[in-house]
Structure 1
Amino acid sequence: MYIEKHSVVKVTLFCLALLPLTLVSAEESEISVVVKSVEQAEKDAKTQACLAEKLNEVGGEVIVSQIRQECDVEVNGPRDTSTAGAISKRFISEQKTEFNPYVITPHKMNYILPISVSDNINRKVYSEQAPDSGWAENIEDHEAKYQLSIKVPLNYDDMFFEGDSLYFGMTLQSWWQIYSDGISKPFRETNYQPEFFYLTGLDWHPYEGNTGIALGIEHQSNGRSTAISRSWNRVYMNFLFEKGDFAFSLKPWYRLDEDEKEIMEDGSIDPEGDDNPDIHEYMGYFQGGIVYQYDTLEFSLGFRQNFATHKGAAEIGITFPLWGRLRGYVQGFTGYGESLIDYNYNQSRIGVGIALTDIL
C-alpha cells in the first residue's frame, strides 16, 4: 500500500513538473503562429508596394501579370528548382517572361536548315496531281527547310492544379526549293499546325523523376488546292517524364473523322471532305520522343510507328553551341511523313543549319 501511494505521489509531482513546460510549449506555438502571420502580412504589403511602384513606372495594364511575377520573385525569392528536371526548368524560365508583350515564347524547336538533302525527292505527287506546274521535272533533291513554333498562355492564375496552364500554339514548317532554277525557287511545301493544349504536372515521381501531362486538339494542313491538299485534325494526350537532363514523351492521338470526298457533276473533286483518308496507315497513332542534354550538347530522337502496317518514321537531331544564343543543328530523318505532302512517301533526309531554340 505504501508503494502504491508513493508511486501516485511521484506521478503527480512529475505531471506538475511538466505543466509549466506544456504551458510554455503552447505559448510558443501561439507566438509562432502570430510571427508567421506577421511575416506573411509584411510580404503581402511589400508585394502590393512593389506592384504599385512598377505600375506607376509603366503607366498601363498591358503587362500587369508580368509585373506580378517579377514582384513575387523579388519578395518571396525564386522558386526552388533543386528537384526540377530539364522540362520543368524550361517552363519555370518561360513563366518569367511569357506575359511580356515584347517576348515571344517558343513552343517546339525553332531552326533554319539552309541545306537539307533527300535521297529520293517526291516528284510523283506533282506529276500525278499537278502535271502542269512544271515542278516534277525541276524539283531539286536539295532544298532549305525551317520551322517556326510559338505559344501564348491563355491563363494567368491556376485553373485546376498549382502551376497548370492553357496555351495556344502555332507551328509552321516549310521546305523551300531555293536551289531550283526552272520553277523560280518556290516553297515546295508548307505545313501549318495550330493547337490548343492544357499542361499540368502530376504528383507521381517514378524513379525519383517528375511527370506531367498535356491534353490538346490540333489541326494540320498544307493550305494547298484540292489536287495536292492535305490536312487532318487530332485530339491527343502527351505524357511527359523528366529526370535531370533526360526527358521522355509519349503522345498518342485520335484522328477526328471527316466526310468522304464526292465527285461533282462536272467531274471535279469536291473540295470538302477528307484529303487523305489513309494517313493513319503511314503516320500511326502515336509519337514518342527522347531528349538528353550532355554538357553543351542536346541529343533528340523522335519516332512514329503503325504496328499493323509496319510503316513509321524516325528523326534524330543534335545541337551544339556556335556563338551567342545561336546553336548548330544537324537533323536526320527516315521513313514516311516528313511533311504532309509526303505522308505516304518513304525517304531519308539529312540537313545542317542553325537552331534558334532547343527542345529543353
Structure 2
Amino acid sequence: MVTMTNDPLAPTRMAFGLLCLAALATSTAHAQSGNAASAAPERSHKLGWQACHAMGNDPTAQLACFKSWAASQLPAGSEPNVATAPANAETGQTSTGILLLPTVNTEAPDGKKIGCRDQQYSALSRFWELQRGSDCDTFGLRSYRPTSVAWVGSDSVNNQPSSPSAGHTVTTPFNYKRAETRLQLSVRTKVAKGLLTSGTSDDANSDSVWIGYTQQSYWQLFNGAMSRPFRTTDHEPEVIYIYPHQIDLPGGWKYRLSGLGLNHQSNGQSLPLSRSWNRVYLMGAVEKDLGGDASLSLQGRVWQRLRESSGSDDNPGISDFIGRAEVAGLWQLNKIHSLGLTVRHSLKSDARGSVKLEWMKASTAIANSASLRYHVQLFSGYGDSLVDYNRRRNVLSVGLSLVDW
C-alpha cells in the first residue's frame, strides 16, 4: 500500500533508494559468476565434461570449465598446445587462443610412415613388401590369390570321382550339371620380418614370413533337382618365407625374390571323396618395368610332395597329373587391363599338367585402385579341383575378382 505524503523530497529519496538496490543486485550477480567460474575447474576434474555441459546457463563459467577439463586430459607434465591467432588489423587486439587437439600418430613403431601402396615401388615389391618403404608391418590382413565369384561352364563334370586307393571311388554316380558357380576366398598375413636382412633406408631389403589361406568351392547353383549342393570345396593353408633381392638381369629384367613354402591342400571330405596332399616348394620371381603403368612379371615354383604311407594316401600319383612345377606370368598392360598365363607340368614324358589363361579388366571408375576387376578365364588340364586331380577338364569362367586389397 502506498502512503501519500506532502514531503517535497520524497520522490528524490525513493529514486536514490532504487539505485542503491540495483547496484547491490549487480554486485551480487558478478560475485556469484566469479564463484561459479572458480569452482568450474574443480567440478570439471571430478565429473568430467558432463559437469561443464550442465552449466549452459552461464557461458563464462561453462567456457572456463571446458578449458580446465581439456587441460586435465593431457599427460602429466605436458602443456596444452595453444595456437594464438594474429592481432586484428583494425582494433590491434590479439584474438583468443585456440586449443589444438593432439595430432594422430601415423608412424610405425620404427618411425617409418605406414603404407605399402606407394607406387614408386614395383608391383612385386608392394605385393611381397620386399623393401622397408613398401612395408605394411606384421599381422595386417592382405589379399593373396584373387577373391572371386564366377559363372563356370565346362566340357564335362565329374559325376563319379575315383582314385586308385581302396574305398576312394564313388559307386553311385551323382547328377551334377556342367554349369555351376565357383567361389574363391584367399587371404594372407605377414607374421615376421627382418629376420636375416633389414636396413634403415626405405630401399633396404627386408625378408619376411607369411601365412596364407585359400578356399575354393564349386557350387551347383543351377541344379535345383539336387537342392543346389556344393560339389566340392578345397582348403589350402600354407607358410611362406620370402627373401628379397635386387639383382639386375639382361634385357632390363630384375630378380626380386626367392622363397620357400610348405603347403597343405585337402577337401575335408570323408570317403570315398577324401583327397589331400602336402608339399614343400621353392620359388623365385623376376620383373621388368615397361614404362608408365605397364610391367611384366614371372614367378616360378617347383615342388616335392611329402611322402605318405600307402594306407593314408588319398590320391596316389597326384604329382603326375597336377604337376611338379609351374610358371606364372603377368603382363600389366596399364591400370585397366592385365593378362595372366599359368603353366603347370609334371616334368615327365607324359607331359600332364594344365594351362590357365586369364584376362582382367578394372572398371574405369576405379582405375586408380583397380581392386575390383572383371575376369575371363580359360583352364585346360588336370587339377582345377582336388576331386578332379586325375580328370582332364576344359573350363571357362566369367566373373568378378577382388585383387590386391
| TM-score of the aligned structures, taking structure 2 as reference length | 0.63
Query: Is residue 362 of structure 2 the alignment partner of residue 298 of structure 1?
Result: no
Residues 1:137 and 1:236: Cα distance change in structure 2 (over 3 Å):
closer
Q: What stretches of structure 2 of length at least 5 have no aligned partner?
A: 1-101, 199-205, 290-294
SS in 1 for 2:108: helix
Match for residue 220 of structure 2? 177
Q: CA deviation at 1:165?
A: 0.5
Equivalent residues of 1:313, 1:335 under 8 A apart: yes
SS in 2 for 1:228: coil
Give the counterpart letter for 1:193 in structure 2: E
1:37-72 per-position Cα deviation (integer Å, ceiling 9, x unaligned): xxxxxxxxxxxxxxxxxxx988xxxxx9x8416941
- Of structures 1 and 2, the one scoring higher in RCO (CA 8 A, sep 6+) is 1
Query: Is residue 308 of structure 2 the alignment partner of residue 258 of structure 1?
Result: yes
SS in 1 for 2:388: coil
SS in 2 for 1:282: helix
SS in 2 for 1:87: helix
1:303-324 per-position Cα deviation (integer Å, ceiling 9, x unaligned): 1112322211001111102354
SS in 2 for 1:138: coil
Give the counterpart letter for 1:151 in structure 2: R
Equivalent residues of 1:98, 1:105 under 8 A apart: no
In structure 1, how many angstroms separate the alpha carbons of the residues matched to 2:225 and 2:152? 19
In structure 1, how many angstroms separate the alpha carbons of the residues matched to 2:331 and 2:107? 33
How many pairs does the alignment contain?
A: 278
Equivalent residues of 1:138, 1:181 under 8 A apart: no
Equivalent residues of 2:159, 2:175 under 8 A apart: no
| TM-score of the aligned structures, taking structure 1 as reference length | 0.70
Q: CA deviation at 1:91?
A: 3.6
When you count helix as a share of all residues, which structure comes out higher?
1
Query: Is residue 187 of structure 2 the alignment partner of residue 150 of structure 1?
Result: yes
Equivalent residues of 1:118, 1:349 under 8 A apart: yes
Residues 1:141 and 1:151: Cα distance change in structure 2 (over 3 Å):
same
Match for residue 210 of structure 1? 254
Equivalent residues of 2:144, 2:404 under 8 A apart: no
Q: CA deviation at 1:205?
A: 1.8
Residues 1:109 and 1:331: Cα distance change in structure 2 (over 3 Å):
same
Match for residue 310 of structure 1? 351
SS in 2 for 1:112: strand
Q: CA deviation at 1:242?
A: 0.8
Equivalent residues of 1:85, 1:210 under 8 A apart: no
Match for residue 237 of structure 1? 282
Query: Is residue 320 of structure 2 the alignment partner of residue 276 of structure 1?
Result: no
Residues 1:278 and 1:161: Cα distance change in structure 2 (over 3 Å):
same
Q: Which residue of the other structure, out of 138, 152, 158, is the alignment partner of 1:122?
A: 158
CA RMSD of aligned residues (A): 3.0
Equivalent residues of 1:110, 1:147 under 8 A apart: yes
Residues 1:119 and 1:274: Cα distance change in structure 2 (over 3 Å):
same
Give the counterpart letter for 2:342 in structure 1: G
SS in 1 for 2:297: strand
In structure 2, how many angstroms separate the alpha carbons of the residues matched to 1:105 and 1:80? 15
Residues 1:248 and 1:336: Cα distance change in structure 2 (over 3 Å):
same
Whichever of the two has the greater Rg, that structure is 2
**More deviation, 207-216/182-191:** 207-216
Q: What stretches of structure 1 of length at least 5 have no aligned partner?
A: 1-55, 59-63, 262-272
Match for residue 209 of structure 2? 166
Residues 1:173 and 1:213: Cα distance change in structure 2 (over 3 Å):
same
Give the counterpart letter for 2:243 in structure 1: T
In structure 2, how many angstroms separate the alpha carbons of the residues matched to 1:126 and 1:284? 19
1:101-135 per-position Cα deviation (integer Å, ceiling 9, x unaligned): xx63011222111x100111111317983345xxx
In structure 2, how many angstroms separate the alpha carbons of the residues matched to 1:342 and 1:170? 20
Match for residue 85 of structure 1? 122
Match for residue 186 of structure 1? 229
Q: CA deviation at 1:78?
A: 9.3
In structure 2, how many angstroms separate the alpha carbons of the residues matched to 1:137 and 1:204? 53
Match for residue 344 of structure 1? 390
Q: CA deviation at 1:287?
A: 1.1
Equivalent residues of 2:117, 2:126 under 8 A apart: no
SS in 2 for 1:148: strand
- TM alignment of 1:345-360, pairs within 5 A: 345-357=391-403
Equivalent residues of 1:146, 1:174 under 8 A apart: yes
